[in-house]
Amino acid sequence: MSTRYLQVAGHDVSGDHYIDGQRIPGKTRFELHCPIDQRLLGTISEGDEEHIEAAIQAAQRAFATWSLLSAAERLPYLERFADEIGKRAEALCAVESNDAGVLLSRMRHGVVPRAKLNITWFARHALELQHRPIDTDQAHHIVKHDPAGVTVIITPWNSPLMLSTWKLGPALAAGNTCILKPPEWAPLTCSLLADAAHAAGLPPGVFNVVQGTGARTGARLVSDFRISRISFTGSVPTAKLIAQSAAANLVPCSLELGGKSPFIVLEDADLDSAAATATLMYRNAGQVCLAGTRLLVHKNVVDQFVIKMRALVDQLVVGDPRDEATEVGPIIHPRQVERVKGFVDRAVACGARLLWGGQPHSFGPQYFQPTLVTDVAQDDEIIQNEVFGPVLTLQTFSSDDEVVSKANGTDYGLGGICYGETSHAQAIAERVRTGFIWVNSFGIRDLAAPFGGIKRSGIGREGGDWSFEFFCDVKDVVIPKKPFRASFSHR
């Protein structure tokens, strides 16, 4: 069977798997629709038992040689991989915008440069992990980071390119071989990644892509005893299923599961800056795990804050994400639109009040109005559960203790944002139980820093040494400083 290609925005994209350095078509296929206008983009191969077995065997064979290379020897391969991503920048931008509804401007100026950096940064950082000496009175310890084995990577539909490369970078740099299972609603840039890896000369089997649904393809991959690591970003229910499968084989999992992050506006905050940042939470149609979706505003400034934010929201451009002027694009799938609308409708039915939005947008059936819901209680569903759409909630507070209590009053703990006089905001930030929190800022990231959440927001950290701690088996080579003589004497 010949490889099938989809034509997306003038670019050829394979709809088939990439296994052991070759394109492999599937016997069964599923349809892929564009979230912008619901047109059919094409059909995608679905991974079955045969494809999964072939991918695992290929990754095992490749691991035997890839794992023996030093970090310095793997570096040229990964630098070429990043270069090939750069050469495909326009295709990656156009395809992900059509496939996932992501803003084209965000792809060009943020995602693709970050995708390249994800590969090169970790490849170079791996050079520092080869030997880490620890000296004690008794011995000289050499701490080594050995490759763990075959790694399964499962990424979500809201940012498939960036999140795939963020995991692939350290996994490959550590010497692991990888099987990537793309999101079924937005798999196409992961397919283009396979083209980039192939052109870069990554040995066959080092990087494989098996497409399909989570229930069928993903479930089979994570339950295999030959898998050494699983890295997943997505929903809590799916993570629980993955963890159950992995537990049967004692496979370590890294789980990044989204959030319900607080956006705190203290009485001494710069309200113009805070309102502008809060409006950013609607970007990517609110489909961002680290967005501050729960606005917690001091009661003495809430009226001013709402007026300032409303003026900015009224100026937001909702429309085609391929237009550089667009600021809010579509929701990924009709099922997700129904989910978002259901949250809002149920909140209103229970007494919540809409300050703006609350309905599907006139631009198209997969667009939803930027929405702000208030008069909600702490235990309401819309406060406690992740909506993952352009929907924010507004609560007020009158004291530091009250805002900390509300900020910590969900089962999530991924991120947060706190606006106020710097020392005051920092003091509050240190009391919020979360994986990270921005003070008077948003979106500042560094690959050397840890990323991840607590509670239902996940297990583990990504970034810097934390990524390698997960993707490696850490080994301590102990060399005594004095001649060692074994003795069975207990005296």
Q: Where in the chain is the domain with CATH 3.40.605.10?
A: 5-257+457-477
pLDDT at 3: 72
3-state secondary structure at position 462: strand
Q: How far apart are CA 439 and CA 427, in angstroms?
A: 10
Q: Which two tokens stand for residue 361?
A: 């947008």
pLDDT at 490: 56
How buried is residue 27: exposed, middle or buried, by Cβ count under 10 Å (0-12/13-18/19+)?
exposed
CATH code of the domain made up of 5-257+457-477: 3.40.605.10
Over the chain (491 residues), what is each successive 10-residue block's mean pLDDT?
84 98 96 97 96 98 98 98 98 98 96 98 90 85 94 97 98 98 98 98 98 95 98 96 97 96 98 98 95 98 98 97 96 97 98 97 97 98 98 98 98 98 98 98 95 96 95 94 79 52
Q: How far apart are CA 184 and CA 191, in angstroms?
A: 12
Q: Where in the chain is the domain with CATH 3.40.309.10?
A: 262-439
Alpha helices in 294-333 (DSSP H): 302-313
* Residue 28: φ, ψ to 5°: -115, 150
Q: How far apart are CA 82 and CA 76, in angstroms?
A: 10
- 262-439 CATH choice from 3.40.309.10, 3.60.20.10, 3.40.640.10, 3.40.50.1820: 3.40.309.10
Cβ pair 301, 269 in contact under 8 A: yes
Q: What is the helix (H) or strand (E) element at residue 391, kind and residue range?
A: strand 391-397
Catalytic residue numbers read 256, 289
Q: How far apart are CA 77 and CA 73, in angstroms?
A: 8
The CA radius of gyration of the chain, in Å to the nearest whole number, is 24
